[in-house]
């Protein structure tokens, strides 16, 4: 633990970010999976799963490089970033003779990954398609999941509109690869209009970075994940059976917004909380990671996890008394019973 000097937080942050990242190719019963491990393997495990066509660098970098979040997460967890098959950095195209995996296969791969690393019970964090896979995993392997942190999650089967859009995108990926039209469709899926830019306003750095990442993806591999998600079943009926705590974030401009609200209504309210982020798209972890800090810290406090230097924090920290909303002092928000919270992020004009 850092000392009590005024700059202890920044030192802890540098230490956290200096953890060596180790890449593993894990052989499972349903093909190989790339896993990037960051942190001390003796700590509890936090696994992540990204959205369609993304990996941990393009889906979780904003959150894990945010100083307050990073100091909290790396102090408490060893991070296991699981990439969907063929989505890791430098991936080659999957052999077309390999069978296309279903969402059940993807969930089953996760338990093989846990067994490979000798992990028992884990905390899970997923975004959209990744949130669906982790929720399905939690339903199938209840005793392996400590908690769910879901960002813009989905739980229904695809609507006719989504199914048709995905079919169009599938054909484009098959015949044209990761072309500009596919990139635009994916960016609309990920981000709010405000950061995607317009004729008058350039797109933000985070969108430009994501666009570059998409250009590096192998289109046949993205197509496989897209086809799996387009055939996904409705898992709504199983939500109430979940007994792990769930924290759901969703951007109010996300295409997943209504489905996230539906999912929240079906979860046991004793174990779940919803955070809506204003003026944000689906990937809150990249577009507005700061909006996740306070709810995330109080969610983790319910498990006994805490920040490394609780008496030396920046004014933005959730542990600073001046930044704590009065309702967060209630027993519910301390983890005994999570209270739905709606965040409002002001937009500068």
Q: Could you report the per-residue pLDDT of 194-237, keeping only the tens digit for each? A: 999 887 889 999 999 999 999 999 999 999 999 999 999 999 99
pLDDT over threshold 70, residue 316: no
How many CA within 13 A on the CB side of residue 37?
18
Phi, psi of 118, deg, nearest 5 = 70, 35
Over residues 43-58, the mean pLDDT reads 97
Residues facing 80 on adjacent strands? 37, 47
What percentage of residues in the chain have a pLDDT greater than 90? 77
Domain boundaries, given as residue ranges, for the chain: 17-302
212 vs 45: CA distance, rounded Å: 30
Q: What is the mean pLDDT of the chain?
A: 86
Is 62 in contact with 206 (CB distance < 8 Å)? yes
CA distance 113 to 234: 25
Give every CB contact of residue 49 below 8 A, 6+ residues apart in sequence. 82, 84, 110, 124, 125, 126, 127, 130, 131, 133, 134
> What does the DSSP 8-state code read for residue 5?
S
3-state DSSP call for residue 332? helix
Would you place residue 334 in the very low, low, confident or very high pLDDT band (cuts 50, 70, 90)? very low
What is the per-residue pLDDT for 19?
Answer: 62
pLDDT category of residue 337 using cuts at 50, 70 and 90: very low
Burial class (CB in 10 A: 0-12, 13-18, 19+), 148: buried
22-26 LR contacts (CB < 8 Å, sep 24+): 23/88, 24/116, 26/112, 26/113, 26/116
Query: Alpha carbon 16 to chain centroid distance?
Result: 19
pLDDT at residue 73 greater than cutoff 80: yes
User: What's the CATH number of domain 17-302, 3.40.50.1820, 3.60.110.10, 3.40.50.2300, 3.30.70.270?
Assistant: 3.40.50.1820
Q: What is the CA radius of gyration of the chain?
A: 19
pTM here is 0.86
Strands 21-28 and 145-151: unpaired
């Amino acid at each position: 633990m850092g000392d009590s000097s005024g700059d202890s937080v920044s030192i802890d942050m540098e230490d956290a970010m200096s953890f060596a990242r180790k890449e593993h190719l894990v052989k499972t019963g349903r093909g190989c999976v790339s896993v990037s491990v960051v942190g001390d393997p003796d700590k509890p495990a936090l696994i992540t799963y990204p959205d369609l066509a993304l990996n941990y660098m393009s889906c979780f970098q904003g959150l894990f490089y945010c100083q307050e979040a990073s100091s909290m997460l790396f102090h408490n967890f060893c991070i296991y970033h699981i990439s969907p098959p063929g989505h890791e950095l430098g991936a080659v195209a999957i052999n077309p003779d390999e069978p296309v995996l279903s969402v059940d296969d993807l969930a089953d791969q996760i338990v093989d990954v846990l067994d490979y690393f000798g992990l028992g019970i884990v905390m899970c964090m997923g975004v959209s398609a990744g949130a669906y896979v982790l929720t399905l995993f939690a339903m199938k392997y209840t005793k392996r999941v400590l908690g769910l942190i879901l960002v813009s999650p989905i739980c229904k089967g695809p609507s006719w509109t989504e199914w048709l859009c995905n079919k169009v995108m599938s054909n484009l990926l098959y015949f044209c690869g990761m072309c500009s039209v596919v990139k635009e469709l994916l960016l609309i899926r990920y981000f709010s209009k405000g950061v995607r830019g317009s004729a008058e306003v350039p797109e933000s750095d985070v969108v430009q970075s994501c666009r570059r990442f998409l250009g590096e993806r192998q289109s046949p591999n993205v197509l496989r994940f897209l086809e799996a998600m387009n055939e996904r079943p409705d898992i709504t009926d199983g939500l109430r059976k979940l007994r792990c705590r769930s924290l759901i974030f969703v951007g109010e401009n996300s295409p997943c917004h209504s489905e996230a609200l539906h999912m929240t209504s079906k979860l046991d309210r004793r174990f779940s909380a919803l955070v809506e982020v204003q003026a944000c798209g689906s990937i809150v972890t990249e577009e507005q990671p700061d909006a996740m800090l306070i709810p995330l810290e109080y969610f983790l406090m319910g498990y006994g996890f805490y920040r490394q230097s609780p008496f030396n924090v920046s004014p933005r920290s959730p542990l600073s008394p001046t930044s704590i909303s009065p309702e967060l002092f209630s027993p519910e928000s301390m983890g005994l019973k999570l209270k739905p919270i709606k965040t409002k992020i002001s937009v500068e004009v």
